[in-house]
Structure 1
C-alpha cells in the first residue's frame, strides 16, 4: 500500500509491505535516518517543503509497523548493521 508522505518532493510517497508476520515500510526520503525517526526530527527546511508534515508522516509510519526498525530510511547506513548481511551491500530485512 502506498501513502503520501511529507512532501520531500511533490507527492512524495512511502510504501507499506506485508511480509509474513512483519510489516515493512520503505520510507525513502520521507525518513532520512533512524535518528530523525527515533527523535521525531524533521529533515531540514531545504530538504522538505513541510517540516510539520514530515514529522506527522513519521508518527503515522510508527503506527503501521510493530517495530520501528522495519521503517527503512532513505539515507542511513546503520541499516546494514541492524539486519543480517547476505553479501556486500545486501541485507535481509527480518
Structure 2
C-alpha cells in the first residue's frame, strides 16, 4: 500500500481474510496429492505396509526381492516427503491414497 501511495499506482497485491486462507489450507490438506505420482507397484507396497507386512512378507506377496521392496519403499517415502512407515501411512490416509 505504501508503494501505491508513493507512486500513485494502484495496489495490486491480493490479500485473503485469515478465515479464507485457513479454509483453503484445510481443503488442500484433504485433497489427493495428484503430483505424487505413485507407481502401481508403489501403491501395492503402500497397501502392504498399511496391512503391517514386513519387507519379507511384501517381497513374497509381490514375488520380488526384498531389495526391490526396499527400493519401492525408499521411492515411496521420497514422494510422500516422509522418513518412516508411520508417517507414510498418516500422509497416505490424509491424502486418500489408501
TM-score of the superposition, structure 2-length normalised? 0.36
Greater share of strand: 1
- Indicate the structure (1 or 2) with the bigger Cα radius of gyration: 2
Greater share of helix: 2
TM-score of the superposition, structure 1-length normalised? 0.37
